[in-house]
């Protein structure tokens, strides 16, 4: 069975069994989400950060303190993502297959919209997606764009990049604009240096993809932003997903499409 | 000078000088907001409550802990609203002209969208507004509709009501739908009993208005909801605006209109 045809529950079962793979192209028609879990004492600052930086951090669901499932993610947040990244004192200290041993009773889990959610809509509109064609992870970059701070939290906007044929740039903007809760329209079109990206060939997260002649790099706000902010702000303890290795929700991508 | 023609700064100055009056019709073209200020330790639950009940509690701005002005409200939140309501142990204990003596260093102030903001758009579309014609406050009601809880916070949805001629109901819906951050389209049209309102003539907040033959009562989610929830949940300490006596922001109502 093609991974595009799996249900969210089937995908979560495979990840729980140990498969570690980026989720672009998985579970066609279903919503994917970023995970960031922090101690509840940081919950206010993080939720306010998300509110103030809503294009990068659209909150789709929030778990109760200590809970490892939510209304939209009826699996186990500790095991049912294909990969995790553990942070201590603002540093990424481990990439893990599960976080059962690391989960804490005081953690609140935020599920943040992910641009993988609108990729099917881009394909339907005739916009090719290089990382899907290559079977790799999407490239993601820290930018020189500062997020709006919240309390002790500050840091750079992270973006994902997709090269789009020049003639299709308007289509890609129009299609993704209709999905504001999964990052919406691009935040930047064209010159990577204008947002502080020195080398497209060396993403900070994920895999590089070729930008061919006649193509324009389009940059979308990315839900890895909270992880970059956790690092920039020296947060004591946090758990994120491994970038590109998303939580797959029991929510249709159409649920996040506006007219 | 007609109060509709005042700037937000001019209106705030009059309220600071002691004028206590509902703000419907004031500062045409400018955004009005509900105030709810709570100790920071309750900030997470309240912000999450707002996120989960976004139609009733659209967050327009949030102050830093202890701060009495915000980006959108460059006045003094302790004096520049026309009236305040003070809560202790879940009870409304005083209505005050200012809250200078009551403000605390640990308070975080939330400014929540208000349906007064779209009233000029309704008038421009030919929809009459009875409480403006009467020069009274808008009627508001607790409903039997429960909000989504957040931690210790739970309680009823509060709505404002405007009677609209039957032939203009569709227009009123279409106009207000375009202002999702100031409550958007009505949450209910018609029979008050269907949402637990026994007697339109006895609002829980504000003043009653007549519903004439051929008119349909339209109900919009209301930013007094957090105050009803503070009461229902027995919150120790909170400061709200006096219902209908709003904070007037340095933001245009058009800023909250979507295409």
Cβ distance A224 to A158 under 8 Å? yes
Region of residue B48 (left: phi > 0; alpha: psi -120 to 50; beta: else): alpha
Dihedral sign (CA B221, B227, B230, B233): negative
Conformational region of residue B234, where left means phi above 0, alpha means psi within -120 to 50, and beta covers everything else: left
Average pLDDT, chain B: 97
What DSSP character marks residue B254? G
pLDDT at A132 over 90: yes
Contact A79, A98 (CB under 8 A): yes
- Same-domain status, B151 and B93: no
Closest residue of chain A to B46, computed from CA coordinates: A44
Domain CATH number, residue A14: 3.40.1640.10
Return the pLDDT at A259.
Answer: 82
- Average pLDDT of span A184-208: 98
pLDDT per residue as tens digits for the range B209-233: 999 999 999 999 999 999 999 999 9
Residues B107 and B211 in one domain: no
Q: Is B43 on the interface with A (CB under 8 A)?
A: yes
**In-domain check, residue A227:** no
Q: Are A193 and A238 within one domain?
A: no
A63 and A123 inside one domain: no
Same domain, B11 and B44: yes
pLDDT at B136 over 90: yes
The pLDDT score that the predictor gives to residue B259 is: 82
Same domain, yes or no: A81 and A16? yes
pLDDT in tens, A49-78: 999 999 999 999 999 999 999 999 999 999
Global ipTM: 0.92
Q: Report, as an integer, the average pLDDT of A92-106.
A: 98
Do B88 and B130 share a domain, yes or no? Answer: no
What residue of B is the nearest CA neighbor of A46?
B44
How close does chain A come to B107, measured CA to CA in Å?
A: 13
Interface check A39 vs B, CB under 8 A: no
**Largest interatomic CA distance in chain B:** 52
Distance from CA of A58 to the nearest CA of B (A): 11
Q: How long is chain A?
A: 259
Q: To the nearest whole angstrom, how far is the Cα of B43 from the nearest Cα of chain A?
A: 6
A229 domain residue, yes or no: no
Looking at B156-217, list the stretches that DSSP marks H as alpha helix, in order from N- to C-terminal side. Answer: 169-177
pLDDT value at residue A7: 98
B144 and B193 share one domain? yes
Residue whose token pair is 């002209």: B97
CA distance B59 to chain A (A): 8
Query: Helix/strand/coil (H, E, C) string of B142-161?
Result: EEEEECCCECCECCEEEEEE
Could you tell me the two tokens for B37? 């200020």
- A201 pLDDT above the threshold of 90: yes
Chain A residues in contact with B40 by the CB 8 A cut-off are: 44
Which among B40, B44, B51 has CB closest to A59? B51
User: In chain A, how many domains are there?
Assistant: 2
Q: How far apart are CA A76 and CA A98, in angstroms?
A: 10
Residues B81 and B33 in one domain: yes
pLDDT at A81 over 90: yes
Same domain, A67 and A195: no
CB B73 within 8 A of CB B112: no
B108 chain-A contacts, CB cut-off 8 A: 44
pLDDT at B120 over 90: yes
For residue B217, give both structure tokens: 């009562």
pLDDT at A138 (0 to 100)? 97
- Which CATH number covers residue A200? 3.30.2040.10
Give a yes or no: residue B259 inside a domain: no
Q: So what's the pLDDT on residue A182?
A: 96
Range A137-146 average pLDDT: 98
| pLDDT of res. A26 | 97
Residue B227 lies inside a defined structural domain of this protein: no
| Residue A125 contacts residue A137 (beta carbons within 8 Å) | no
Residue B171 lies in a domain: yes
Q: Which residues from chain B sit within 8 angstroms of residue A60, using beta carbons?
A: none
Chain B residues near residue A63 by CB distance under 8 angstroms: none
Are B107 and B200 contained in the same domain?
A: no
pLDDT of residue A27: 97
Is there a domain that residue A63 lies in? yes
Domain membership flag for residue B226 = no
Evaluate whether residue A228 is within a structural domain.
no
The b/e string for B116-150 (b: 16+ C-beta within 10 A; e otherwise) is: bbbbbbbeeeebebbbbeeebbbbbbbbebebebb
Let me know whether B92 and B51 are in one domain.
yes
Residue B51 to residue A48, Cβ atoms within 8 A? no
Task: Give the whole-angstrom CA distance, residue A141 versus residue A156.
Answer: 10
Could you give the CA distance from residue B225 to residue B34 in angstroms, rounded to a whole number?
Answer: 10
Contact A51 B59 (CB under 8 A): yes
Any chain A CB within 8 A of the CB of B40?
Answer: yes
The boundaries of the domain holding residue A156 are 116-221
pLDDT at position B1 over 90:
no
| Mean pLDDT score, A30-52 | 97
* pLDDT tens by residue, B179-202: 999 999 999 999 999 999 999 999
% of chain B residues with pLDDT over 70: 100
Q: What's the pLDDT score for residue A136?
A: 95
List all residues of chain A from 128 to 187 with a beta carbon under 8 Å from chain B. Answer: none
Closest listed residue to residue B186, CA positions, set B157, B223, B218? B218
Average pLDDT score over chain A: 97
The encoded tokens of residue A87 equal: 């942070």
């Amino acid at each position: 069975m093609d991974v595009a045809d799996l249900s969210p529950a089937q995908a979560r079962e495979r990840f729980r069994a140990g498969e570690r793979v980026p989720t672009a192209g998985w579970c066609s028609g279903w919503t994917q989400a970023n995970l960031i879990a922090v101690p509840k004492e940081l919950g206010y600052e993080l939720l306010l950060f998300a509110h103030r930086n809503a294009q990068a951090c659209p909150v789709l669901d929030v778990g109760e303190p200590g809970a490892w499932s939510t209304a939209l993610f009826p699996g186990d947040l500790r095991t049912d993502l294909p990969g995790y990244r553990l942070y201590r004192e603002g540093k990424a200290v481990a990439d893990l297959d599960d976080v059962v041993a690391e989960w804490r009773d005081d953690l609140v889990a935020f599920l943040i919209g992910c641009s993988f959610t609108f990729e099917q809509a881009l394909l339907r509109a005739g916009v090719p997606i290089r990382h899907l064609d290559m079977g790799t992870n999407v490239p993601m970059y820290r930018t020189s764009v500062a997020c709006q701070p919240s309390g002790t939290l500050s840091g750079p906007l992270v973006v994902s990049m997709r090269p789009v044929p020049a003639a299709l740039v308007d289509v890609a903007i129009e299609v993704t604009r209709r999905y504001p809760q999964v990052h919406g329209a691009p935040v930047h079109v064209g010159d990577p240096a204008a947002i502080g990206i020195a080398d497209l060939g060396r993403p900070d997260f994920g895999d590089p993809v070729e930008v061919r002649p006649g193509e324009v790099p389009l940059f979308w706000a990315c839900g890895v932003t909270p992880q970059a902010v956790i690092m920039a702000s020296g947060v004591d303890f946090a758990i994120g997903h491994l970038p590109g290795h998303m939580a797959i929700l029991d929510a249709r991508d159409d649920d996040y499409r506006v007219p």
